[in-house]
Amino acid sequence: RKEVEQDPGPFNVPEGATVAFNCTYSNSASQSFFWYRQDCRKEPKLLMSVYSSGNEDGRFTAQLNRASQYISLLIRDSKLSDSATYLCVVILGGANNLFFGTGTRLTVIP
Amino acid sequence: GAGVSQSPSNKVTEKGKDVELRCDPISGHTALYWYRQRLGQGLEFLIYFQGNSAPDKSGLPSDRFSAERTGESVSTLTIQRTQQEDSAVYLCASSRNRDNEQFFGPGTRLTVL
């Protein structure tokens, strides 16, 4: 089983829609979680960290569910500029273990 | 401030040649990572440096790949006797320490003919 799994998509949604992605992780000792965004032929860029209590940044909401071992990213009022691949990152504390998901491709359609 | 920089941005080489890729991390970042990303694929971890500790080389795909880092500064990734399957974008990232978010460089696009 992979350490981190994401639905590769693609997710094709109309402008203004709400879309959510999940990322499951296999190791319950995982301690740090992040969502990155990667545009086509560009490097990944941090979108937001994921805190235990959940966190929101404008139209983006990230949540952590430790019991079910997944993190989620919710995007409200989708914009064309949200089209990208969204990568989740899971870090195991105390060891050199950092895992990227393979990414979920989102396309927002006019 | 300055972000992570990588050079060259593009490298075209012939099969069998050696290549050296460079990464300048953000000043003060103790952790440095190298990844490989093939076209349309996810990130593949290669190697991780943390301060003066021994690097985590568990992701290096073969003994043709090696990397060095001088203290907490520049890192070089060397690929010897390149093969066509080495063609990919090689991304470097740095972070303040192990558990902090990573900042990526623009990558080096390697093409092996």
A22-64 tens-digit pLDDT: 999 998 888 889 999 999 989 999 999 998 889 999 999 999 9
3-state SS, residue B85: helix
Position B80 scores a pLDDT of: 98
Select from B98, B101, B103 the Cβ nearest to the Cβ of A49: B101
Position A31 scores a pLDDT of: 83
Residue contact A46–B50, C-beta within 8 A? no
Chain B residues near residue A96 by CB distance under 8 angstroms: 48, 50, 56, 58, 98
Q: Which of A21-30, A92-101, B61-70 has the lowest mean pLDDT?
A: A92-101
Is B104 in the A-facing interface, judged by CB distances under 8 Å? yes
**What is the nearest CA distance from B33 to chain A, expressed in angstroms?**
10
Both structure tokens of B107: 């990558």
Is A100 in the B-facing interface, judged by CB distances under 8 Å? yes
3-state SS, residue B86: helix
